Amino acid sequence: MILRLLILPLLLGVQAIKADTTTQWAGVSEITFSGTSTLHDWAGKVSAEPFVTNVILDDAGQLKQVKAKVSVKAADMDTAEPKRDDNMKKAMKVTDHPLIEASMDAQVTQVAADGKTPTKLPLNLTLLDKKQSINATISHWKLVGKKATFDLDFDVSMKASGISVPAVLLFIRVGDTVKVHAAVTLSQL
């Protein structure tokens, strides 16, 4: 009985152990892409499919990890030039590879140097069934209440992605680098 009386205050004084918590954020993204050629520069746009981002917080409520998978329908990419769009979709083999996917599973230390403001985001990009690691740059980060907005920028090498674009008229060639810009909005569910 005395042992119980001694242990009871100790048990009551010990806080419950908290576990990590996951919150979900609905995501949308408008994406623009641009490149060069020997004749002129070109650009296009596409919307990502709606997605969910899992934000994992530690027991103190601090950001610990971010996980998401974002898909883009390759056939929806639009440069506002029908002939160029047809050539782009042939080069990207959109019938055989209808989705471009980016996934992330990043610790906060990979995303935010100060632990608060995101500045980079490591992505795994799958294009034409080829996986590649991309380091994207985050800018214009804003978090207001339960809504976060930011811009995400990265470059994609067509050669590394397996995209081969034939020359037009034997001398007009497309540059290897495609610049990708995504305006992202996340809203906590």
| Helix then strand then coil, % of the chain, to nearest 5 | 15, 50, 30
Residue 115's pLDDT band (boundaries 50, 70, 90)?
A: low
Residue 167: predicted pLDDT: 58
Is there a contact between 155 and 180 (Cβ–Cβ < 8 Å)?
Answer: yes
Spell out the domains of the chain, with CATH numbers in brackets. Answer: 19-188 (2.40.128.110)
134 exposure class (CB count in 10 Å sphere: 0-12, 13-18, 19+)? middle
- In which band, very low, low, confident or very high, does the pLDDT at 166 lie, cut at 50, 70 and 90? low
C-alpha distances in Å from residue 53, one per residue of 23, 50, 66, 67, 91: 8, 10, 7, 6, 31
Average pLDDT over residues 55-84: 91
The mean pLDDT value for 83-101 works out to 93
Please choose, from the candidates 114, 121, 34, 147, the residue with its C-alpha nearest in 3D space to the C-alpha of residue 80.
34
Helices and strands: H and E segment counts in the chain: 4, 9
pLDDT tens across 134-143, in order? 999 999 988 8
Average pLDDT over the chain reads: 85
Confidence at residue 105, expressed as pLDDT on a 0 to 100 scale = 93
Lowest mean pLDDT among 8-12, 35-39, 44-48: 8-12
